[in-house]
Structure 1
Amino acid sequence: MRLNEIRYNDSVPIDGYGPGFFRIGGTIIRGPVLVFPTGVAGWDGFTDSAAILDRAGDVDVVFVGTGAETAHLPADFREALEAAGIGVESMASPAACRTYNVLLSEGRRVAVALIPI
């Protein structure tokens, strides 16, 4: 088996998560958070699509971590992002963290919006 070292260049990976927090680029952040390749921002949850739309030109897809379990996204939240040309995928937060890191290491234009477990 061939192993490759993962490189994130100047991007910010998600290092870990636990009850109520995420560790991103070595910093513990409590509560919901948005992670873009260029940095981290607070997030007010599904009522806050504007925080993502403000950076719509930076990403092609947003992974939405809905906590410990996968949940349906509110229609108005999903529709606002899709109208701006951003793909939206919901999944449990642990899966969203892993997916974000893998695609980030490939140089993809992705972001993740996370609700803690």
Structure 2
Amino acid sequence: MSVMTPTEFLGGAVPVDGYGPGFFRVGGKVHHGAVIVTETGMAPWAGIDDHAALLALAGKVDVLFLGMGADVAFPPRALAQALEAADIMAEPMNTPSAARSYNVTLSEGRRVACALLPI
């Protein structure tokens, strides 16, 4: 299991604490499978074809980090276009990088979310 470096989070914001094969620990709770994490908590995510869950973040976040699994991959064109149309700035990267980037950006007090596919 990879454990994230502890840091200070404003107002009780919820960080990604760690991850491992097929699971994430967020705010001290373990979830198996894909997740969406925001400053208020974690929710299960049906995965890359679940556009609605990501589009629900419109107007609530400044950036969405997309953790695409163990390797860097681009999201499917339809998803990228839907996010762009909803004015959601999405940054695809591998899942470990997305989790770290989410935590750093969250610690800066910014409106951020991450959608993470398991590794």
Match of 2:57 among 23, 31, 55: 55
Task: Give the 3-state SS of the residue equivalent to 1:17 in structure 2.
Answer: strand
Counterpart CA distance in 2 for 1:7 and 1:51 is: 24
Counterpart CA distance in 1 for 2:42 and 2:56 is: 13
> Structure 2: where are the runs of 5+ without partners?
1-6
Match of 1:26 among 13, 25, 28: 28
Match of 1:68 among 64, 67, 70: 70
Task: Give the 3-state SS of the residue equivalent to 1:86 in structure 2.
Answer: coil
Contact 1:70 1:92 in 2 (8 A): yes
Identity across the alignment (%): 55
Task: Give the deviation of 1:53 after TM superposition.
Answer: 1.3
Name 2:38's counterpart in structure 1.
36
Size of the alignment, in residue pairs?
113
Matches within 5 A, 1:78-93: 78-93=80-95
- Specify the code of the residue in structure 1 equivalent to 2:9: R
Name 1:114's counterpart in structure 2.
116
Name 2:48's counterpart in structure 1.
46
Counterpart CA distance in 2 for 1:19 and 1:8 is: 29
- Specify the code of the residue in structure 2 equivalent to 1:40: M
Counterpart CA distance in 1 for 2:12 and 2:59 is: 18
Task: Give the deviation of 1:102 after TM superposition.
Answer: 0.3
Task: Give the deviation of 1:100 after TM superposition.
Answer: 0.1
- Structure with larger Rg: 1
Name 2:102's counterpart in structure 1.
100
Q: TM-score, normalised by structure 1?
A: 0.92
